[in-house]
Chains A and B, each alone.
Chain A
Amino acid sequence: MTSIKVQKLQKTFQSKRKAEGLSGSVRSLFKPEYSSVEAVNNLSFQMEAGELLGFIGPNGAGKSTTIKMLTGILHPSGGETSVLGFTPWKDREKLAFQIGTVFGQRPQLWYHLPAIDTFTLFGKIYELDDRETKKRIAFLSEAFEMQDLLEIPVRKLSLGQRMRCEVAASLLHRPKLILLDEPSIGLDVVAKQHIRDSIRRMNQEEGVGVLLTSHDAGDLEALCKRVIIVNHGQIVYEDKVSNLKRKYLTTKMVEVRYAEEIAKDFSIKGVEILKVGHYGVKLKFDAAITSVDSVLAHISAAGDIVDITISDPPLEEVIAKIYEQAKEEDNKGK
């Protein structure tokens, strides 16, 4: 079942332009000039119910604008969208009962009150009865490990604790879909892990679909099955995360530790040696050019292996590569 269907979605903003300095300001006062910015340009994609979909791209790529159109916050300039069978900008209130939203940069919890008070208020906003609200708060506080946080004023929580409460608040009314816009922004590694685990759990236990925008490739790797990469308001890549890795993660990094000292002139044809120590070596090769078998054979011939680690480069590098390709194609097009 499809939960989101987007066809040729467009959003154009009018942006005021002003020349530098005071004279520019005076000119702009009497004769303002505007230019059009296409934040989202002919975007089409689908998302299935219960899917974990990553929507990533650099700043200004159109991620947040797309999310805002999907929730009914913004009216599009063109195209069609259906979210859980609703047209977001026409059926905003009905849709809001079915979805949850978290904007990492815009808190929804009341700053001066303990989170539990916002949860209770949300119970009224989403028209839950008091017993159901209490039951749901108890469940979410266990799922998000926030039993000790609920009665502390939000202003006194750490960013990580607050984000956990924010995501939990968006799930209070049992939405079928949550749209998370940069939920891990500014969080440390542990807090990010906490949030990711809780989101994964809610997806598995309640089947809630997750559309996630993020700068952090780690969010994508840890949570999403499928990814859409956008740039300049257009899709530049759309596939499963596993395919993305297979296609672009051909470079392998290998770290080996030996039982005895190895030769200082350690080398393998077609392999870049990054570092050679007395008992270990760190190297990098492209598996599409040099076979993994032959590299491993050379490594084991060099001595008795104590430990070996083979890893892929971080996803950030892959995404950067895709952006670069999209940029080059753009330039060629021009």
Chain B
Amino acid sequence: MNNLKFLLAIWKANLQSAMEYRISFLTQMIGMMANNFLYFAIWIIFFDRFKDVRGWGVNDMYVTFGILASAFGLVSLLFGNAFMLSDIISKGRLDYYLSMPKPVLLHAVSSRMIASGMGDFAYGFVSYALSGYLTWDGLARYVLAMLLAATVFAAFLILTQSLAFWFGTMSNFSNLVLNAMLTFGIYPITLFDNYAKIILFTIIPAALMGAIPAEFIRGFTWQSLSQLLIGASGFLGLAIFVFRAGLRRYESGSAIQIEV
């Protein structure tokens, strides 16, 4: 309960901090929505030409892209430092979080809000609304699937960025796998054979962020829900385990820091 109050307080501070620069906040938000629209326009043109890719149509793409954008946006908004964890570790900036009486990982990742995430988050809902699958219970499934996909995504970021405890800065590697995750997340799952699907559920769990949540939104199945629940809890557990193991190797640093 105390940790929830703490999280709400820190998110409030993040929002206050982002809103100190009103124009930047608004332009980032609107800019990201426009960016997503332009990106998705290519898929609209593609499906206008080919109509169907192994049973996967433009409406499925709307849902998949929507859930991916919303989950990405939610992690950017609430756990923005998950994208920068490698830098925080390698530059010795975990000291601040370690000197506070709260769980280090939770405190560290929640201490930054990436304002453009608001654009992604909102765009996802718009994309879902345009898909033709919008119903009240569909919307409820959308929210649940988004939370689980965001958990997988945040856990995956923490996992890859925590490698910095062992190998020094890992931000380039992490960006690489992050891009792979987002790219494969948006591709129609029907394109991949079984071996590729194993990779998309494990090494780069893009299927748990795009195709599986989309399948769950289009229609409830216990299979897709359990895949999402197992994936989210498994990856989260693994990420926390790796971070904690790495924390024992943390070496701090003497770099002068000018802001939190």
Contacts and interface: CB of A to CB of B under 8 A. Distances in A.
Interface of A: 13, 64-65, 68, 71-75, 92-94, 96-97, 101, 103, 105-113, 117-118, 120-121, 124-127, 153, 155
Chain B, interface SS category:
loop
A110 B13 contact: yes
Given A72-B98, A105-B256, A113-B13, 11 more contacts: A64-B254, A68-B95, A94-B101, A96-B100, A107-B257, A108-B96, A112-B17, A112-B259, A120-B9, A125-B101, A153-B20
A224 B46 CA distance: 74
A73 B16 CA distance: 29
A105 B257 contact: yes
B100 A106 contact: no
29 contacts: A64-B254, A68-B95, A68-B252, A71-B99, A72-B98, A73-B94, A73-B99, A75-B250, A92-B98, A93-B102, A96-B100, A96-B101, A97-B101, A101-B99, A106-B95, A106-B96, A107-B258, A108-B96, A109-B260, A110-B13, A110-B260, A112-B21, A113-B13, A117-B16, A121-B10, A121-B13, A124-B5, A124-B9, A125-B6
Contacts of A96: 99-101
B259 A74 contact: no
B20 A125 contact: no
Q: Which 8 A-B pairs have the closest CB atoms?
A: A111-B259, A96-B101, A124-B9, A73-B98, A101-B99, A112-B20, A105-B256, A112-B17
Interface string B184-200: 00000000000000000
Interface of B: 2, 5-6, 9-10, 13, 16-17, 20-21, 93-96, 98-103, 248, 250-252, 254, 256-260
Contact of B95 (A73, A121, A126): A73
B98 A71 contact: yes
Chain A, interface SS category:
mixed
A75 B248 contact: yes
Contacts of A109: 260
A105 to B, nearest CB: 5
Contact of A74 (B2, B101, B252): B252
Contacts of B16: 113, 117
